[in-house]
Chain A
Amino acid sequence: MTVTTSGQRRTPKVAKTNSVVKKVVMAVSGIIMILYLIAHMIGNLHAFQGAQAYNDYATWLRTFGEPALPKRTILTVIEVVLTVSVLAHMWAAFSLWYQAKRARPVGYVTKKAMAQSYASRTMRWGGVIILAFIVYHLLDMTTGTVNLAADKSEPFDRLVASFTNPWVTAFYVIALVLLGMHLRHGIWSATQTLGQSNRRRERTVNAAATSLSVLLIAGFLVVPLAIAIGALR
């Protein structure tokens, strides 16, 4: 029997890194980001203890470990790990996106879905929107560049300034719901990618992915919504 190698000449570039390895990079970086998000969500709830407690918490994040550790040590470590995670996650996502595009240059005239969920279909563009949101969020709450509060504002002032504006609040809500869907499919997908799923566990994994995403996003949403409706100032 003759073995043709035409397929091997067709795609030398995309095939350099094993496609499953790309998925593992995506899963591991995604899990790191989820762990951070859980801590971040719980931390945000300090807002309900009032402006003083919230600002103190923000200061504590920067002074944690002093004097044994220099100022901002923990925060810097977290920032570096997260930046690396986001970059690795994006590299894998775009590279698989490109690979999929090359794998089907000619589309179908008629194509109907059998099983795919909305969440699984919006991973790529949803991810891009989430990235845009992350950039905006940092400019809003961390640096204050795009924030509507005065220059020398405290963290709590920035919260109130943003979420009393309905447009900003709406953007946060949309981005968070998208993030929730991303995680809904992402947690299930990561379990598969890391080889931890099976037929018996499938239901449990899916239920856990849904409940974790809903809880996390609900936890994030309560702060902006409470400020928007005036329950928290």
Chain B
Amino acid sequence: MRLTLRIWRQKDPSVKGTMVTYKLDDISPDMSFLEMLDVLNERLIMDGDDPVAFDHDCREGICGMCGVMINGKAHGGEHTTTCQLHMRSFKDGDTIDVEPWRASPFPVIKDLAVDRRAFDRIIQAGGYISVPTGTAPEAHSTPVPKKDSDAAFDAATCIGCGACVAACPNASSMLFTAAKVTHLGLLPQGQPERYDRVVNMVTQQDLEGFGGCTNIGECSASCPKGISMETISRLNHDLLGALRAGVKPKS
């Protein structure tokens, strides 16, 4: 395949970036998107140029590191991660625009790599349960209805990639936060901290500077794991309950 790539190049956060055009011949349709970028980088290194910085780790769609905007769609819009997107999704001769996630809480570190630690801080604000350490408890002592465990598992498949924020016209992190609130809120182990969790996580996402959700649905449509809009309704439901119960965010 022959491709024209237009990639966002930015040396570091202090300078302005720009789209730079590269031409590639001889790309196999069986390559993943990241392998295609590897080919480009090998050439850039050979030519003594600066390779394109992009994040990645597992390359099997589970770590959530590799998200970039491809032709205006998060992860390329194929309901999978960038690392699992294959070049056969493109046509010979295509021009492909590659940009980093855009949101002020996700500042660009270099080229396509952004700092997603804002998500870590949202998790730290409430995305956990407190349990005593020691031997694992007998699983049968805490029964979970099948319906709840399935819905909790669906929500738990969120890999924290940030595509929802990147795709959202408001740059809201609501789907990510809602996936965590739903995952823990549906399980018995998540009940003691349920109200504090939702209040603290929403407060943190506001503090980080994410936008507010207006239920447009770009997030869910762009999510590689198909996290549903239902999780957002669940978060709102929990938050209203918490506010009625007078729960205040921890300072």
Contacts and interface: CB of A to CB of B under 8 A. Distances in A.
Given A10-B209, A104-B211, 12 more contacts: A11-B104, A19-B206, A19-B212, A20-B212, A100-B212, A102-B104, A103-B105, A107-B102, A108-B99, A195-B235, A195-B237, A199-B228
Interface string B160-171: 000000010111
B170 A18 contact: no
Given A103-B103, A107-B102, A110-B72, A115 B220 contact: yes
Contacts of A192: 215, 229, 232-233, 236
Interface residues of B, number: 55
5 contacts: A3-B124, A100-B171, A115-B220, A195-B236, A195-B239
A18 B169 contact: no
A24 B19 CA distance: 40
B221 interface: yes
B207 A19 contact: no
Contacts, number: 167
B208 A7 contact: yes
A212 interface: no
Interface stretch (A39-47, A73-81, A116-124, A131-139): A116-124
Contacts of A104: 102-104, 170-171, 211
A19 B213 contact: yes
A198 interface: yes
Interface string A84-115: 00000000000010011011111111111111
B222 to A, nearest CB: 5
A146 B214 CA distance: 36
B221 A115 contact: yes
A111 to B, nearest CB: 4
B207 A103 contact: no
A103 B105 CA distance: 7
A197 interface: yes
Contacts of A96: 170, 211-212, 214
Interface of A: 3-4, 7-8, 10-12, 14-15, 18-24, 96, 99-100, 102-117, 120-121, 123, 185, 188-189, 191-199, 202
**Would you list the 8 A-B pairs with minimal beta carbon distance, nearest first?**
A195-B237, A115-B221, A19-B212, A112-B72, A103-B211, A103-B171, A114-B221, A100-B211
B86 to A, nearest CB: 19
A194 B238 CA distance: 10
Contacts of B71: 110, 112
B29 interface: no
A185 B236 CA distance: 17
B172 interface: yes
Q: Which of A11, A105, A121 has the most CB of B within 10 A?
A: A11
Interface in B89-108: 97, 99, 102-105
Given A96-B170, A195-B237, A15 B207 contact: yes
A20 B208 contact: no
Nearest to B206: A15
A116 B72 contact: no
